Amino acid sequence: MRILLDSHILFWAMDQEEKLSADILEKINDPENDIFYSVLSIWELTLKNLKNPVGMPVSGIEVAEYCDRSGFIRLPLQNEHIQQLPTLKKDDDTDHKDPFDRMLICQAKAERMTFITHDSKLASYHESCVAVI
């Protein structure tokens, strides 16, 4: 399975592993799975660290270094990912406007990956690639 991890999953894997469910840990540690992280997550975590270093105590660079040491595969942003944006299916009544989440879903959709998140708001996207765990 090809898995793209959401930004908060990356942070928890690095700094607060106790927050990860047994199911997520099993998927991350399964040698049959290819685990990806997006450059978008690194950007998002860098912005959060700059804005609130107490709430986000690690930099995006530190997360990227952790991902590389862990054997996760870096996923760059491609035109094909951006072209998926108008194809996303979402409930209209949900208040979700996070551009990072939308683009991560687009990346997973374009690359035929499973996007693993803990954010229940992302269940409003009716995309088969989204797994809210």
Q: Identify the weakest region by mean pLDDT among 15-24, 60-69, 105-114.
A: 15-24
pTM, 2 dp: 0.92
Domain count, the chain: 1
Question: What CATH number has the domain bearing residue 113?
Answer: 3.40.50.1010
Residue 103 has a pLDDT of: 96
Q: Which residues form the domain of 38? A: 5-132
Alpha helices in 5-98 (DSSP H): 7-15, 22-29, 39-51, 60-70, 79-82
Of the candidate ranges 5-9, 40-44, 63-67, 87-91, the one whose mean pLDDT is the lowest: 87-91
Nearest-Å Rg of the Cα atoms of the chain is 14
Nearest of 2, 6, 1, 13 to residue 133 by alpha carbon: 6
Can you tell me the distance from the alpha carbon of 115 to that of 113, in angstroms, rounded to the nearest whole number?
6
